[in-house]
A and B are shown apart, each in its own frame.
Chain A
Amino acid sequence: MNEDSRRAFLSRLLAGTGAAVAFGALPDFSPAYDYAAAQVNGGGNKFAFFTPQEAPQIAAVCEQIIPSDDGPGAREAGAVYFIDYALSQTEPHLQPVFRAGLKKLAAACTPDKFNELSAPQQISVLKKLEQTEFFARVRQYTILGFLGDPARHGNRDQVGWKYIGFENPGMFTHPFGYYDAEFLSERKQKQ
């Protein structure tokens, strides 16, 4: 998605097309996000930072950090595209950590392609690297690529948010959860 379209969307909302928006029906943000995800996905799965050799390696690490076992994971969220976006667009100072880390990753694998190892082998390699800055960064950015704002090229179709049970429509009405709803209904009964 394009940041401008999202801002425009928000500003329209904020400009308060009147009381109906502010106090009445909840606007549904999800079409906007679906649109955004389609834009992102339609934008192609090209890498600006990772080389064609590096991309499948880093993607395989992401897929061990948040696997796709019981539902969509880092792969379906396109977490690696978020990481590529962050490293190429917003945080280029982190590039050396990833580039050097990928070399160390290859050195820790026999043969040296992490993505060609079996899952148990991959896990055992990552356990050895757990304390490195590289692993901490890949973990942090995989999480952001799974659970961050879809506008940043990860969390496609909000798969991460749907998996954990989060939504971001921009406003909610009370009660919010089970216990406050229960509290309100108990109070009503007493009255």
Chain B
Amino acid sequence: MSTSTKFKTTDAVDFLIVGSGAAGGVLAKELASNGFQVVVLEQGPRIDPGQFEHDEYWAFNLHALSNNPLLQPTTFRESEHEAAKIKPAIWYGRVVGGGSVHFTTNYWRFHELDFVERSRKGSIPGADLQDWPITYNDLEPYYTKAEWELGVSGLAGASPFDPPRSKPYPLPPLPIKSSGVLMERGARKLGWHPFPAPMAIISEDYRGRRKCMHCGFCEAFGCEWGAKSSTLATVVPVAERTGRCEIRPNCYVYNVEVNARGRVTGVVYFDKQKRSQRQKAKAVIVCANGAETPRLLLMSKSGRFPDGLANSNGVVGKYLMFDSGAMSGGVFEHPLNEYKGAVVSRIVHDFYEIDPKHGFLGGAGLDTRFDLYPAGFAQSGFAPDMPQWGSEFKKNLRDFPRVMYTLSHHMALAVESNSITLDPVTKDAWGLPAIRVTYKEHPDTLKSLRFMQDREMELLDAAGAQKSWRLPTESDYASSHLLGTCRMGNDPTKSVINPDHRSHDVPNLFICDGSSLVTSGRNQPTETIQALAFRAADRITMLAKKGEI
């Protein structure tokens, strides 16, 4: 299972990758396959899929696969003028495979518009909407590569809104669920265009992996079958089989070191026993997610980079974008049994661009889904004005098999003051500065949430719901999509990395993860993060082969 390849900390390996998640796992496999020596340092443990549990308490309360706010507290405030208070504000995969282990597997390409929305729509007051320095066409081959290398189920051409693609999906869609049938019925009545949700779960046996068994524990859980196309189930073992890649778990990197010439020489990390170790490397690629990546750079202060590494322009940590969404629930006459099978089977993209005549800039995708396991359903599945305990509450729990939810996934506009910074007071269990989140949705994003929740209620009604309700759109949640904090751009004064994912300040420091994103798409970022990682691997390989790193 685990690799036999081990490097010494004194070996200056070709590439040191921080994080083994959606991006880090892909880069490890690509670079090791291209002949380079790679060490991947992962904050979390390595968990054998046979140890994954179907237990809400294990996943949500004990944080078995994710960051634990008791050990790594975060602080939160809405604006720079407030004092930040301790509050869980971010949620990320902290295990070999990172967030790709517990993600829901919605696997949407960005559309052409997402890369050029600024030039199409103009500037938006209070936001810093920018075009990407690359286009959809630049990324298309890598979207295709991600779908085929990792294993994605879907139906090409089923959505009239889909961007062009060079190849169909490698696997047919997962079976339609009752929520999918109700989406088909309701959405068609409303004149929308539902289509099979592209999901990173294999619907048939694929490349030595066994197909999905429909156990129902996808969102927030790991797949014990390996049918979910996490990096743990796909590229990580391939990387290890090259004999050139070591995935080292329980390594908490807190400093990326530079020499007098301003070049990265390696990283310092706490090992499992909280001892400091120094791993040397010829180049470093940070793939630690949109919160931990900027935090690591901000912690990596030196005489040459007093405000943090790659941060001479002060952009590191800015333009944070969260996973904004509105959710509504409905009860139907017959059992749907949404707890069986993958979370989503049908989606619509009719509102990918919401008509500007509504008075705001926004766009969203919409799905019907299973969202809440039994305890989560009882805890937060009902509207606040519905009974929350006692006899009536308990009776409503019996609706569980007849309930589905509909969830919208929104463009979150980039706002400069939304950011990741180091908390000046709070420390984590290792004595490192806690992440301080400053975040307030742009007013247009809030308007789009309310707009889409109205559509959700229409959909539930059109699908024949006996009863439906809105869940709060501005609830206190920890975001699991952490985007935009080391944005890509051509202008070194306004972005952190260039289109090759190389930091503008340090030639042998690369960054690739959710932090690279310039816009949030319609907030299903994983496929774009992985397409970027495949593309970054090509760019970095080319630079290395030309001796330019």
Residues of A within 8 A of B (CB): 7, 10-11, 14, 16, 22, 64-67, 69-70, 73, 86, 90-91, 93, 123, 126, 139-140, 143-144, 146-149, 151-152, 160-161, 163-166, 168, 170-180, 182-183
In contact, A164 and B374 (Cβ under 8 angstroms)? yes
Q: Interface residues of B, CB < 8 Å — how many? A: 52
- Would you call B273 an interface residue if the criterion is a C-beta within 8 Å of the partner chain's C-beta atoms? no
In contact, B389 and A73 (Cβ under 8 angstroms)? no
Q: A144-B375, A164-B400 are in contact. Are A14 and B225 (CB under 8 A)?
A: yes
Q: Which of B24-76 contact A (CB under 8 A)?
A: 49-51, 53-58, 61-62, 70
Q: Which A residues are in CB contact (< 8 Å) with B62?
A: 90
Please name the residue on chain B nearest to A180 by beta carbon: B178
Q: A148-B57, A152-B57, A170-B215 are in contact. Are A143 and B375 (CB under 8 A)?
A: yes
In contact, A164 and B177 (Cβ under 8 angstroms)? no
Q: Which A residues are in CB contact (< 8 Å) with B393?
A: 65-66
In contact, A67 and B391 (Cβ under 8 angstroms)? yes
Q: A70-B395, A139-B388, A148-B57 are in contact. Are A14 and B178 (CB under 8 A)?
A: no
Q: Which of B388, B389, B395, B397 contacts A64 (CB 8 A)?
A: B389
In contact, B224 and A177 (Cβ under 8 angstroms)? no
- Would you call B181 an interface residue if the criterion is a C-beta within 8 Å of the partner chain's C-beta atoms? yes
In contact, A166 and B335 (Cβ under 8 angstroms)? no
A163 to B395, CA, bound (A): 10
Please name the residue on chain B nearest to A166 by beta carbon: B374
- Would you call B390 an interface residue if the criterion is a C-beta within 8 Å of the partner chain's C-beta atoms? yes
The smallest beta-carbon distance between A162 and chain B, in angstroms, is 11
The smallest beta-carbon distance between A168 and chain B, in angstroms, is 5
Q: Which of A69, A90, A139, A166 contacts B394 (CB 8 A)?
A: A69
Q: Which A residues are in CB contact (< 8 Å) with B213?
A: 22, 170-172
Please name the residue on chain A nearest to B184 by beta carbon: A183
Q: Which B residues are in CB contact (< 8 Å) with A151?
A: 55
Please name the residue on chain A nearest to B341 by beta carbon: A176
The smallest beta-carbon distance between B367 and chain A, in angstroms, is 16
In contact, B339 and A166 (Cβ under 8 angstroms)? yes
Q: Which B residues are in CB contact (< 8 Å) with A10?
A: 50, 224
Please name the residue on chain B nearest to A67 by beta carbon: B391
Using an 8 Å CB-CB cutoff, how does the interface string of B216-228 with A read, 1 for contact, 0 for none? 1000000011000
In contact, A152 and B374 (Cβ under 8 angstroms)? no
A151 to B58, CA, bound (A): 11
Q: A64-B390, A90-B62, A139-B388 are in contact. Are A148 and B178 (CB under 8 A)?
A: no
Q: A70-B395, A172-B214 are in contact. Are A178 and B334 (CB under 8 A)?
A: yes
Q: A147-B374, A178-B178 are in contact. Are A73 and B54 (CB under 8 A)?
A: no
In contact, B400 and A65 (Cβ under 8 angstroms)? no
The smallest beta-carbon distance between A3 and chain B, in angstroms, is 9
Q: Which of B134-188 contact A (CB under 8 A)?
A: 175-178, 180-182, 184
Q: Which of B54, B334, B378, B390 contacts A143 (CB 8 A)?
A: B378
Q: Which B residues are in CB contact (< 8 Å) with A90?
A: 57, 61-62
Q: Which A residues are in CB contact (< 8 Å) with B81?
A: none
Given contacts A64-B389, A64-B390, A176-B214, 8 further A-B contacts (CB under 8 A): A90-B62, A149-B56, A163-B398, A164-B374, A164-B377, A172-B215, A177-B337, A178-B336
A93 to B73, CA, bound (A): 14
Using an 8 Å CB-CB cutoff, how does the interface string of B267-292 with A read, 1 for contact, 0 for none? 00000000000000000000000000
The smallest beta-carbon distance between A92 and chain B, in angstroms, is 11
In contact, A164 and B337 (Cβ under 8 angstroms)? no
Q: Which of B50, B54, B184, B332 contacts A14 (CB 8 A)?
A: B50
Q: Which B residues are in CB contact (< 8 Å) with A147?
A: 56, 374-375, 377-378, 397
Please name the residue on chain A nearest to B400 by beta carbon: A164
A11 to B397, CA, bound (A): 32
CB pairs A–B below 8 angstroms (25 shown): A67-B391, A70-B391, A70-B394, A70-B395, A90-B61, A144-B57, A144-B61, A147-B374, A147-B397, A148-B56, A151-B55, A152-B55, A152-B57, A161-B374, A163-B397, A163-B398, A164-B401, A166-B339, A168-B216, A170-B213, A176-B175, A176-B177, A177-B334, A178-B178, A183-B184
Q: Which of B180, B225, B397 contacts A180 (CB 8 A)?
A: B180
- Would you call B79 an interface residue if the criterion is a C-beta within 8 Å of the partner chain's C-beta atoms? no
A164 to B374, CA, bound (A): 8
- Would you call B340 an interface residue if the criterion is a C-beta within 8 Å of the partner chain's C-beta atoms? yes
- Would you call B494 an interface residue if the criterion is a C-beta within 8 Å of the partner chain's C-beta atoms? no
The smallest beta-carbon distance between A12 and chain B, in angstroms, is 9
Q: Which of B384-443 contact A (CB under 8 A)?
A: 388-391, 393-395, 397-398, 400-401
Q: Which A residues are in CB contact (< 8 Å) with B395?
A: 70
Please name the residue on chain A nearest to B224 by beta carbon: A14
- Would you call B338 an interface residue if the criterion is a C-beta within 8 Å of the partner chain's C-beta atoms? yes
Q: Which A residues are in CB contact (< 8 Å) with B177?
A: 176-177, 180
In contact, B176 and A183 (Cβ under 8 angstroms)? yes
- Would you call B379 an interface residue if the criterion is a C-beta within 8 Å of the partner chain's C-beta atoms? yes
- Would you call B85 an interface residue if the criterion is a C-beta within 8 Å of the partner chain's C-beta atoms? no
The smallest beta-carbon distance between A27 and chain B, in angstroms, is 10
Q: Which A residues are in CB contact (< 8 Å) with B224?
A: 10, 14
A54 to B502, CA, bound (A): 60
Q: Which A residues are in CB contact (< 8 Å) with B121?
A: none
Q: Which A residues are in CB contact (< 8 Å) with B51?
A: 7
In contact, B50 and A143 (Cβ under 8 angstroms)? no
Please name the residue on chain A nearest to B379 by beta carbon: A143
Interface centre among A126, A152, A180 (most CB of B within 10 A): A180
- Would you call B450 an interface residue if the criterion is a C-beta within 8 Å of the partner chain's C-beta atoms? no
Q: A64-B390, A144-B61, A165-B398 are in contact. Are A11 and B50 (CB under 8 A)?
A: yes
Interface centre among B53, B177, B213 (most CB of A within 10 A): B213
- Would you call B6 an interface residue if the criterion is a C-beta within 8 Å of the partner chain's C-beta atoms? no
Q: Which A residues are in CB contact (< 8 Å) with B70?
A: 93
A124 to B535, CA, bound (A): 62
In contact, B374 and A173 (Cβ under 8 angstroms)? no
Pairs of residues from A and B, 3 with the lowest C-beta to C-beta distance, nearest first? A178-B334, A177-B178, A179-B178
In contact, A149 and B338 (Cβ under 8 angstroms)? no
